[in-house]
Chain A
């Protein structure tokens, strides 16, 4: 069963606007962590933001925020004030305490238009 689902293969946004990248997950483990990574065309995976399942508040890191809705099992990434350099693949990932394996979704290709 797919544990991480990213339903948007591609997204487009105008520079300086906000964009939301969707992520839903599936787990029966009460303790887990959710991550977002950015992968530019150069190939490296860059950590953006983390949300723990017991965290009461949504995580924020600069222009990145995570809209965590536990009951819906969703962990959407919000990028505010998009920049041209934000164009990249974005991956949602999850780690469960029952294992230490980071499971990735299939990614969303974000294109920021000038």
Chain B
């Protein structure tokens, strides 16, 4: 079974440029998460989708970040314009269901390492 797929793996851009990341979750997983992981820290949730609905986007900087999951499957995270402080690894994860029904194992993709110059 294929895991969570993310692309690109690495991206280097200049500040003020736009950038987009793509994620394809594990088949059948209706919950999708985007995390940002700054160097030397644990991941922090940016947004969580239940199917195509964003149910937790309270930590998404909405002035420059946007995300979509139009058909409830794959998702795109966009930054426009990028700032130096956006340099981080952006992780996508998926799970069968949110919350504590049994337990909620989140499967992570390999991440996209963004460098903003």
Q: Once the chains bind, are B41 and A106 in contact (CB under 8 Å)?
A: yes
In this assembly, does A68 line the interface, its C-beta being within 8 Å of a C-beta of chain B?
Answer: no
Q: Once the chains bind, are B104 and A95 in contact (CB under 8 Å)?
A: yes
Interface size on B, residues (CB 8 A): 26
Q: Once the chains bind, are B42 and A106 in contact (CB under 8 Å)?
A: yes
Q: Once the chains bind, are A44 and B108 in contact (CB under 8 Å)?
A: yes
Interface size on A, residues (CB 8 A): 25
Q: Once the chains bind, are A106 and B110 in contact (CB under 8 Å)?
A: no
Q: Once the chains bind, are B104 and A45 in contact (CB under 8 Å)?
A: no
Return the contact of A105 from the options B42, B55, B110 (Cβ within 8 A): B42
Residues of A within 8 A of B48 (CB): 100-101
Looking at B33, B42, B89, B91, the one whose CB has the most chain A CB atoms below 10 A away is: B42
Return the contact of A43 from the options B100, B104, B113 (Cβ within 8 A): B113
Residues of B within 8 A of A47 (CB): 105-107
In this assembly, does B67 line the interface, its C-beta being within 8 Å of a C-beta of chain A?
Answer: no
Q: Once the chains bind, are B42 and A104 in contact (CB under 8 Å)?
A: yes
Q: Mark B67-110, 1 if CB is under 8 A from A, else 0.
A: 00000000000000000000001010100001110011111111
**CA–CA, A3 and B40, complex, Å:** 17
**CA–CA, A28 and B106, complex, Å:** 23
Q: Interface of A with B (CB < 8 Å)?
A: 4, 31-33, 37, 42-47, 50, 52, 91, 93, 95, 97, 99-102, 104-107
Q: Interface of B with A (CB < 8 Å)?
A: 33, 40-45, 48, 55-56, 89, 91, 93, 98-100, 103-111, 113
